[in-house]
Every structure is written in C-alpha cells, then in structure tokens.
A and B are shown apart, each in its own frame.
Chain A
Amino acid sequence: MIRLDGVAVHFGQGTANETRALSAVDLAIAGGEFVTVIGSNGAGKSTLLNAIAGDVPVTGGTIAIDARDVTRWSPARRADRVSRVFQDPLAGTCAELTVAENLALAARRGCGRGLRLAVARRDRPGYAAALERLGLGLEDRLDEPIGRLSGGQRQAVALLMATLAPTRLLLLDEHVAALDPRTAALVLDLTRRLVAEGGLTALMVTHAMRHALDCGDRTIMLHEGRVILDIAGEARRRTSVDDLVARFADVRGEALSEDRLLLG
C-alpha cells in the first residue's frame, strides 16, 4: 500500500523562477494495483515518480509505503521497497559490467552486500532461467558486457532487474518511449507478464493513451501537478482513447481560457 498525502514539489523555491511541478497530490495505491499515469509535458508525471523514488526532495506532504513514512529517505534506502525502470534504456544498467553482473547487482537490491563473490556459480542457472523468459536469447550472453546489447534488450533486462528482488512498488517512467514500436510492444508485453506473475504493485508513466488503457487496472491523469482524472473498473473499461484525448483538450482549453481571462 502506497500513500501520498498532499505531496508537493516546487523547483527553485523562493526564486522568481519557482515552478510547481507537483501541487498537493493525494494518491493511494493498493497492493497489487497496476496504475498508469498520463498527462501532457510538464504535467508532473516524471516528478511524481522521482518523488516516490526519492530522487527529488518533496517540498510538502508525506509519502508512505506500507504505512512507513519514507518522505525523508534517500533513494538508496528506499530501494528495498521501490524498484524502477528509467526512460533511457542506457540508464538502468551499467554498460561496462556483464549481463550477469548487472543481474547480480539487482538481485541484492534491499539486501546487505558483503565480501562473497558477486556472481557465484550457483546464481548463474537462476539468471539464465530469468533471461530465458524474456525470449530474447540473452541466456547465452551472461558474460558479455551489457553495453553490447541493443537498447531494447537492455531495457528488457532493466525491467527484469527491477523485478528480480522483492519490490513493494515498481516505477516505470515512460520505459518504452525511447524504443522502436516493435521493441516497445515486446517490452510492454513483458511488463504486463512480469507484473501479473509477481502480483506486483506498479506505477507506469506513459505518453501513449493506448498503453495507458491497455495496461493495468487504473489510470490517472495529471495536469499542472494535480490529479485531474482517476478512473478504474467499469468507468475505465468504458473509457476510450478518444475520451482521454477529449479530456486532454478540455483541460488545455480551460488553461487557455484562463490565460485569456488574465490577458483580456
């Protein structure tokens, strides 16, 4: 159970350029829920994820995971309960480390690290089996530097890494946006499978309305740092991409008319 109460993130506070990336977001995500997040550029989608991961300090409000207040925790300290996949396929893995070494790093997320061999012989079959499920033939490339893999392959491995150790919340930040359509479909499909198999709680940012409705079981729309739409269940099933687009146009129009009022 993830709970955000009045979470606000202001950049450049106290300066003329202060921007409110998030203003008072309340959000409760139940265990096992798969939430998709949409919104226009600058709506606060990435900031929301960064705030939950701890990469961006919040200016107000609290973030709780399993009733534990983590608002002031560093990203590393939160990593035992929050895992993530970045938008940039190169960001989630270490290019110069081998596939096995990357997996070994992720397998110990949230555990202590000691002087034992990082990639032990007995770990390898498990890594190979996990890679085999990706269906990309990577199980034979355990000892290759991961930098030799394509962006799509690396993103698939990053996704696998985020689910290798137990996680209370999986954060996906437009993780297929930088991939070609075919690879994007593959990674998205993989996302659905891994989330379903693990019964994971997930929060996925996407700019594709289709993905937002096709994946998961709840969709929220952010606009100017606020949640302006929150649909699940029957209401969500009845919602089409066109409805979402119309909703987008709506809020944009409102913003526009507000501007007109101000300027007029």
Chain B
Amino acid sequence: MSLIAFLGAVEIGLIFGLVSLGVFLSFRVLSFPDLTVDGSFPLGAAVAAALIVGGVPPLVATGVAVVAGAAAGLVTAILNVRFGILHLLASILTMIALYSINIRVMGGPNVAILQEATVLTPFLTGGAWAPDWPAYVVRPAFLAVVAALAVVGVAAYLASQLGLAMRATGANPRMARAQGIRTGRQILAGMALSNALVALGGALFAQAGGFADATSGAGTIIVGLAAVILGETLMPGRRVWVMVAAAVVGSVVYRIAVQFALDIDGLGLQASDLNLVTAVLVGAALILPGLGRGRLRLRP
C-alpha cells in the first residue's frame, strides 16, 4: 500500500471516527438503536456544501451543519420519547425524511465544492497557517486534531454528573428515574449530541472530498457500528476515556484494514464490495461473543 493510500484510509477513518462516536453514544450509552445517522451524515454534508457554495464562511457552514444534525437527532428522540414510537422505527422515519430534505438542501442529488474554500483551506498550500506538508498529510493531521477534540469533549461529558445520568438512562431507565433523572430529556440530549457528531463527520467528509451526495449516507450506521465493535475488541476496558477513544481507533483501524484488503489483488475485491465485507464483519462480531458463551451450544 502506498503512503498516500494509507493516509487516505486514515483520513476517512478519522472522519468516520466522528460517526462512530455518535453511534457509540446512541447504541452503547443510550441503548437506542438509531438509524437516523444514515440521514444525518449526508445532511451534514449537504448543509455544509450548500452553504459554502452560497458564500457562507466554511466554519459557519460547518457549525450550521452540526446544528442541523442535532435537530435531526432531536426529531427522532421526540418521536420516541414524546409520542412513544418504537426507537428503531422513529429513526427510520427521520432517515427517509432526510433523504428528501437533503436533496432540497442541495437543490439536487449532489453538490461539488472542489473549487470552494473549506475549513481545510487555511492549512493547505498557500493558506494562512499552511505547514510545509502535502495535502494528503495535512488533511488527516487536521482531522486527527478534530477527532481528538471530539474524543476529549465526549469523554469529559460522559464523566460528568450529566454524562453519568445519560449512561444510567441507557443502562437502567427505571433506576435512573428513581434517582431523579428525567430519562426523556437525557434521550433528547444524547440523540442530539450523537447526530451532531455524525453531521460534523458529514460536513468534513464533504469538505475533504470536495462534494456532497444524497446517497453517501447508505450504510453509515453499519460502518459506525463496525468501528465501535472493532474498537471494543482492540481496546477493552470500562473507563470512559478508553471506551470513547476506542470508537475512533476502531474506525481508523477498520479503514486501514479495508484498504489492505482492497490492495490484495489475489482477493479480487473491488471498492463496491465494501458494504458486503462490512456487513459480514459486523454480523460475525455480533455472533462470535454468543458462541464463546456457549449460547448456541445449548441446542441438542
């Protein structure tokens, strides 16, 4: 594998590290299987790209994309908490609604921003803070800083009194309520935070790649989940910091592994096989622990 391909994998891994942080919050912390991310990832990309094309400063555009993602998460949470719709179904409703919304936001199925200034521009050749590095190094370095900040932020939140209340809400809601925690509010906050992170990933994906596409969200949830599961395997531990960092590490390792697999000619894989490989990986990761515990051996 070439250095450029490797760093490209790291770059995508870090972007999707933000997605897996979001998935970690919904699936692991809140026990809320949330498919909204398949819509909020392209939503972040669409909002950022559309605003950048419209002349809005990239930092502001990214901020608005994050807020849009939070709003999408809130919609799913409200459908579930306030109106009692099953969490999975609520998230699918938001997800399919977002498909239409994203196309409206972009005024079409995709937007190119290759020629526009992005949050990365100041660090690229000719920019105000440009280091003397090629773009394929600058991009992952910038994203590593963003991902590290996100890890610190999420971990610090989960270690706080409010974060502990959120973890209790996902782990044992009845007990949480008995301790005075308003579980409905915790779900709203957690889902907003989760989808805000995913939309940030989408906004950076669009800016690093130079385009936004309404179909780029398909399978986001599974990719995020694969990263979370891989991270848990690579970095087992119950400390909040470890669990949060593991989500991003898992995402990066996953992308590098995928890149390796695609590079091996003997396997004959092509880029479009990625979804199949991911599904098989996640399926195996979900089945194997059960086998280990002898759950399946009980059958005669």
A residues whose Cβ falls under 8 Å from a Cβ of B: 53, 55, 74-77, 79-80, 83-84, 86, 91-98, 101, 104-106, 108-111, 113-119, 145, 161
Contact = CB atoms under 8 A, between A and B. Distances in A.
Contacts of A77: 180, 182
B171 A118 contact: no
Contacts of B164: 97, 101, 104-105, 113, 118-119
Q: Interface size bucket, B side?
A: 20 to 34
Contacts of A111: 180
B165 A113 contact: yes
A235 B287 CA distance: 62
Contacts of A118: 159-161, 163-164
B160 to A, nearest CB: 5
B285 interface: no
Contacts of A80: 180
A79 B180 contact: yes
- The 5 A-B pairs with the shortest beta carbon distances in the complex, nearest first, are A79-B180, A118-B164, A113-B161, A94-B171, A75-B177
B174 interface: yes
B173 to A, nearest CB: 10
Given A94-B172, A97-B168, A97-B171, A115 B180 contact: no
Nearest to A118: B164
Interface of B: 157, 159-165, 167-168, 171-172, 174-183, 238
Q: Which of A55, A80, A96 has the most CB of B within 10 A?
A: A96
A98 B238 contact: yes
A79 B172 contact: no
A55 B165 CA distance: 19
A117 B167 contact: no
Contacts of B183: 76
Contacts of B159: 117-119
A113 B177 CA distance: 13
B183 to A, nearest CB: 7
A76 B157 CA distance: 21
B175 A91 contact: yes
Contacts of B182: 74, 76-77
Given A108-B180, A115-B162, A145-B238, 5 more contacts: A93-B175, A94-B167, A105-B181, A109-B178, A118-B160
Given A75-B178, A76-B181, A105-B179, A117 B171 contact: no
Nearest to B165: A113
B160 A116 contact: yes
**Interface hub of B162, B168, B175, B182 (most chain A Cβ within 10 A):** B175
A53 B179 CA distance: 11
A58 B180 CA distance: 20
Given A96-B171, A105-B168, A84 B161 contact: no
Contacts of A104: 161, 164
B167 A97 contact: yes
Contacts of B181: 76, 79, 105, 113
B169 to A, nearest CB: 10
14 contacts: A77-B182, A93-B172, A94-B168, A95-B171, A96-B167, A101-B167, A104-B164, A109-B179, A113-B165, A114-B161, A115-B161, A117-B161, A118-B159, A118-B161
Given A98-B238, A114-B161, A118-B160, A76 B168 contact: no
A45 to B, nearest CB: 18
B165 A105 contact: yes
Contacts of A106: 179
Nearest to A145: B238
A110 B180 contact: yes
Contacts of B162: 113-115
Which of B159, B172, B180, B238 has the largest count of A CB atoms less than 10 A from its CB? B180
A114 B162 CA distance: 5
Contacts of B179: 79, 105-106, 108-109, 161
B153 to A, nearest CB: 11
